[in-house]
Amino acid sequence: MPEPTEPKDFIRTIVEQDLRSNKHGGRVHTRFPPEPNGYLHIGHAKAICIDFGVAADYGGLTNLRFDDTNPSKEDMEYVESMKRDIHWLGFDWGDREYYASDYFEHLYAYAVQLIKMGKAYVCDLSPNEMREYRGTASEPGRESPYRNRSVEENLDLFARMRAGEFDEGSRTLRAKIDMASPNFLMRDPVIYRILKVPHQRLGDQWCIYPMYDFTHCLSDSLEGITHSLCSLEFENNRELYDWYLETLDVFRSHQYEFSRLFLSYTTVRKRRLLPLIQAGIASGWDDPRMPTLAGLRRRGYTPESIRAFCDAIGVSKANSLIDVAMLEHFVRQDLDNRAPRVMGVLRPLKVIIDNYPEGQVEQMTAYHHPSYPERGTRQVPFSRELWIEREDFMENPPSKFFRLGPGREVRLRYAYFVTCVGVDKDANGEVTALHCTYDPATRGGDAPDGRKVRGTIHWVSAESAVPAEVRLYDRLFKVENPDEGDPLENVNLESRTVLEGCYVEPSLADAPAGSSYQFERQGYFCVDPDSTPGRPVFNQTVGLRDTWAKIAGQG
């Protein structure tokens, strides 16, 4: 009878309460408010999933709003990349694309209103003086000597600030709240500062810009945002958020905070990632090892997998460090279901089938996806000379090793059983080629006599193999929490391995950039834009779980 209710997070619980009490007339309206000062990353993905997800769950809307109040740090270039990334992730804001700068005139009027109410004043303290006046955690701050200017004088001074009469940094407009508040943000916070920098959208229309706390709550209010969701570090700001809305007596939006996403072995901090790009360790913000959405996309992560991940980690107020293995699990899960299977040899070893007719080529039928036969098949050419994976052969294999070794028989996936009958070596004793014989009766991979074989290995016909480059990746940092310590010291310099002499099956010759495949027995790979016709370049998204590696690792 009582249906097992899906556990909800605390935010959805609040939204449901508000819905039940008809707090906003049944309306749920959220917003995603990035500052256009960089690229969106996995941490933003969590916020996006929450902002859009909560609204969608209750039939509400989500606005995209660029929080562009600091032109010295922002650029329109980021606006475009952010829009593309959000769409790629799978969310849409309809025609509700807003900018805090849309509200500058309105915000200015609110500031004038505060002045008229005696709740704001122009302050001439320098940045250093202001810091001194602010006090400390144990001592209250002191009131600015300019705190009690008349409304008329404040109005005049503020108008002249806007007119550009004063130097940058010489004056600010401040809210008159409480210099003794235990919350620093309430000790007469700055509302407007002078910044003689042209705005990326408005040009030189303004030389004073509103601060975040003032802008954000009023933008929310103006847009009718019911639930303003943000991360934990803004908990202290909520008191100010509420003060502005209450004092100006405008629509009351409410702010709720959830914990940011932290991933092990990962940092999303620009100050820590940029040095890696500058040092040439990473190729750019879309390097496949980057935690940016652009990087994850190039790496082969799917939007679905990122959304499933965000869904799984939940929403709470507890600081947490999530194991990257969790993220990897969700790409594997998604790609396992959708990626077509192909064969590719990363570290090739030549195999010659001694008893196979020279010059003969057979087409072997292989499933695009064995779990879904309805997805069809493809033909894979087979011939006398093949490439197999070097690590699928051992000259002195332990008993647990199911692959090829002298005298051992294995199945070539979708082809024949072969037995190793000889090993060619060079002067250094390095294995250069294997000689095998095949059993013609096992075509397709089944032995009519019921004979079993422990190992099945993948291969590519040498005569039609397509040369390819494969880039293998490992975590970018060697330490679990790269937010601490020297970023350049903690980087994993072996996080990228470029393999140039790989061979893949012919069907991959012109695979389109961005498409994902499972190289059987190896992992998921995504075609990189660096590919050229006839020579694809693959990025390893994530490897398959490798039980053998664990067994071998134990000795």
Partner RNA sequence: UGGGGUGUCGCCAAGUGGAUCAAGGCACGGGACUUUGACUCCCGCAUUCGGAGGUUCGAAUCCUCCCACCCCAGCCA
CA 273 – CA 467 distance, rounded (Å): 33
Binding of RNA by 137 (CB under 7 A): yes
Q: Any idea what the Cα angle at residue 107 is, between residues 105 and 113, rounded to 5°? A: 110
CA 88 – CA 293 distance, rounded (Å): 9
Q: Residue 60 CB, nearest distance to RNA (Å)?
A: 20
Binding of RNA by 479 (CB under 7 A): no
Buried b (16+ CB within 10 A) or exposed e, 358-390: eeeeeebebbbbeeeeeeeebebbbbbebbbbe
Q: Residue 229 CB, nearest distance to RNA (Å)?
A: 14
Buried b (16+ CB within 10 A) or exposed e, 10-39: ebbebbeebbeeebbeebbbbbbbbbbebb
Binding of RNA by 413 (CB under 7 A): yes
Binding of RNA by 112 (CB under 7 A): no
The residue behind tokens 């820590």 is: 272
User: Hey, which residues between 211 and 270 contact RNA (CB under 7 A)?
Assistant: 211-213, 215-216, 232-237, 259, 264
Active site includes 270? yes
Binding of RNA by 438 (CB under 7 A): no
User: Hey, which residues between 515 and 544 contact RNA (CB under 7 A)?
Assistant: 518, 520-521, 544
The residue behind tokens 């000790």 is: 187
By CB under 7 A, name the one of 91, 401, 459, 525 that touches RNA.
401
Alpha helix (H) ranges present in 205-261? 212-223, 238-248
CA 311 – CA 230 distance, rounded (Å): 17
Determine the interface stretch with RNA among 292-300, 326-334, 347-355, 428-436 (rule: CB under 7 A). 326-334
By CB under 7 A, name the one of 17, 148, 150, 170 that touches RNA.
170
User: Hey, which residues between 340 and 379 contact RNA (CB under 7 A)?
Assistant: 341, 369-371
Determine the interface stretch with RNA among 154-162, 279-287, 315-323, 345-353 (rule: CB under 7 A). 315-323
Binding of RNA by 171 (CB under 7 A): yes
Q: And the tokens for 59?
A: 């039939």
Q: Which of 131, 160, 270, 545 is catalytic?
A: 270
Binding of RNA by 445 (CB under 7 A): yes
By CB under 7 A, name the one of 83, 96, 269, 317 that touches RNA.
317
Question: How many Cβ atoms are within 10 Å of 109's Cβ, its own excluded?
Answer: 10
Give the residue with the Cβ less far from RNA, 107 or 281: 107
Binding of RNA by 7 (CB under 7 A): yes
CA 58 – CA 53 distance, rounded (Å): 9
Binding of RNA by 319 (CB under 7 A): yes
Give the residue with the Cβ less far from RNA, 236 or 432: 236
By CB under 7 A, name the one of 8, 196, 435, 535 that touches RNA.
8
Q: Which of 8, 142, 260, 350 is catalytic?
A: 260
Q: Residue 331 CB, nearest distance to RNA (Å)?
A: 11
Give the residue with the Cβ less far from RNA, 478 or 535: 478
Sign, CA torsion 73/74/77/83: positive
Assess contact for 521 and 544: CB atoms under 8 A: yes
Binding of RNA by 551 (CB under 7 A): yes
Question: Coil, strand or helix: which one is 11?
Answer: helix
By CB under 7 A, name the one of 92, 118, 126, 440 that touches RNA.
126
CA 255 – CA 161 distance, rounded (Å): 31
Active site includes 35? yes
Q: Residue 403 CB, nearest distance to RNA (Å)?
A: 5
Q: Residue 75 CB, nearest distance to RNA (Å)?
A: 13
Q: What is the DSSP letter of 277?
A: H
Q: Which of 16, 35, 153, 391 is catalytic?
A: 35
User: Hey, which residues between 280 and 309 contact RNA (CB under 7 A)?
Assistant: none
Q: Residue 427 CB, nearest distance to RNA (Å)?
A: 29
Determine the interface stretch with RNA among 154-162, 273-281, 283-291, 547-555 (rule: CB under 7 A). 547-555
Assess contact for 268 and 38: CB atoms under 8 A: no
Rg of the chain, C-alpha, whole Å: 31
Give the residue with the Cβ less far from RNA, 316 or 355: 316
Buried b (16+ CB within 10 A) or exposed e, 286-315: bbbbbbbbbbbbbbbbbbbbbbbbbeebbb
Give the residue with the Cβ less far from RNA, 88 or 402: 402
Determine the interface stretch with RNA among 81-89, 128-136, 220-228, 494-502 (rule: CB under 7 A). 128-136
Alpha helix (H) ranges present in 147-192? 151-163
Binding of RNA by 455 (CB under 7 A): yes
Binding of RNA by 313 (CB under 7 A): yes
Binding of RNA by 108 (CB under 7 A): no
Give the residue with the Cβ less far from RNA, 193 or 299: 193
Active site includes 73? no
Assess contact for 158 and 112: CB atoms under 8 A: yes
Binding of RNA by 179 (CB under 7 A): no
> Which residues are within 8 A (CB) of 109 and not within 5 positions of it... i.e. 6 or more apart?
none
The neighbouring-strand residues paired with 473 are 496
Binding of RNA by 182 (CB under 7 A): yes
Residue 73 CA neighbour count, 13 Å, CB half: 13
By CB under 7 A, name the one of 63, 172, 228, 531 that touches RNA.
172
Assess contact for 244 and 218: CB atoms under 8 A: yes
Binding of RNA by 203 (CB under 7 A): no
Catalytic residue positions, numbered = 35, 260, 270
